[in-house]
Amino acid sequence: MSWRQELERQWYAGGVGAYLLRPLGAIYCALAARRRARARRLPGALPSIVVGNLNVGGSAKTPMTMALLRYLQSHSWHPAAISRGYGAHPPQEPYAVLPDDSPVRAGDEPLLLRSVAPVFLSRRRHAGILAAANAGHDIVVLDDGFQHLALQPSLSLLLLQGERPLGNGRCLPSGPLREAKTALQAADALLCDPAAAGSADLVGIAPPCFRFEQQATRLVPLHDPVQELPLQALRNRHVHAVTGIARPERFQRTLEVLGAQVTLHSFPDHHVFRQQDLVNISAPLVITSKDAVKCMQLAGLPEIWVLEIGIHWEPSFSHWLDQRLATWRSPQ
């Protein structure tokens, strides 16, 4: 078990290590609250929707961003995604991600987003939004921008997952939170999976909470995505799940719900896969769409399937979102 996995176990299991780190967590929370209170925030050049979370690690931000981009496209908007580009090495910023960019240059999540809509990388979100405006877009969705306090977004959405969506309720390093629970009030809406929607952590929270679910949608060969396989192909099949994501256990559970017998091979989040990482693992391998963009250029691999995951939200969220979109610039 890595030190990070042990720390996360302490956060959620009430370990002594997390308890001893409480003073540091309290300081972190106080500094984050002070930073938010003193922030001088300015709107961007376009209407902007921020998708974020309070806790560290994966919480379906990128799949939700993709779902929002598709929704906006279906409603006659011309959206772009803005990303900080964690782990990316673009030649300049802002940088418009190309469809055939490498994960090293563009980052894995931006490259996945690029399969849906244009993506601009910029640590300075205002500059990224301006680049999108100059390219003819009329709205942007920011993947993981809730803590970027220089920007005043048009809409802030916070994602929450699991029966304990706020962990032990403490800030780093004593808990998983980037900010205290009170920062939930800064969101316009919460997007909660079924477990989080019923969590006692969210009792008394003011923003509306809309339910969403992640569901497996397609199973495709890595190098032949046109050839779709039935999800039933996983039933009673022993597969090796290979991941470089923050929450590999969720991917494992998804496969198990589909009836697969799973052996998990977990690499660190944003891991850049090499051929030697995969060649000695027995086929078939099943990977996420996020990891697929990092494996496309590898040759001589065993049989690899990509399990694509989609986001489905309750109809009331569509109605709520439509009301807010109507108050912004009319789509062309």
Q: What is the pLDDT of residue 192?
A: 96
Q: What is the pLDDT of residue 246?
A: 86
Q: What is the pLDDT of residue 205?
A: 83
Residue 181 has pLDDT above 60, yes or no: yes
What's the angle, vertex CA 179, arms to CA 145 and CA 288, rounded to 5?
Answer: 50
184-222 residue pLDDT tens: 999 999 999 999 998 988 888 889 999 999 999 999 999
Distance CA 146, CA 41 (A): 12
Average pLDDT over residues 276-282: 87
Residue 291 has pLDDT above 80, yes or no: yes
Helices (H) and strands (E) in the chain, counts: 12, 12
Asked whether 48 and 154 are in contact (CB, 8 A), the reply is yes
Residue 164 has pLDDT above 70, yes or no: yes
Q: What is the pLDDT of residue 330?
A: 58
Average pLDDT over residues 141-164: 96
Distance CA 137, CA 48 (A): 11
The pLDDT-based confidence of 301 (bands split at 50, 70, 90) is: confident
Q: What is the pLDDT of residue 3?
A: 66
Distance CA 315, CA 305 (A): 32
Residue 321 has pLDDT above 60, yes or no: yes
Average pLDDT over residues 259-279: 91
Over the chain, what is the mean pLDDT?
93
Q: What is the pLDDT of residue 11?
A: 86
Average pLDDT over residues 161-165: 90
Distance CA 304, CA 265 (A): 14
32-89 residue pLDDT tens: 999 999 999 999 999 999 999 999 877 899 999 999 999 999 999 999 999 999 889 9
Residue 30 has pLDDT above 70, yes or no: yes
Q: What is the pLDDT of residue 298?
A: 76
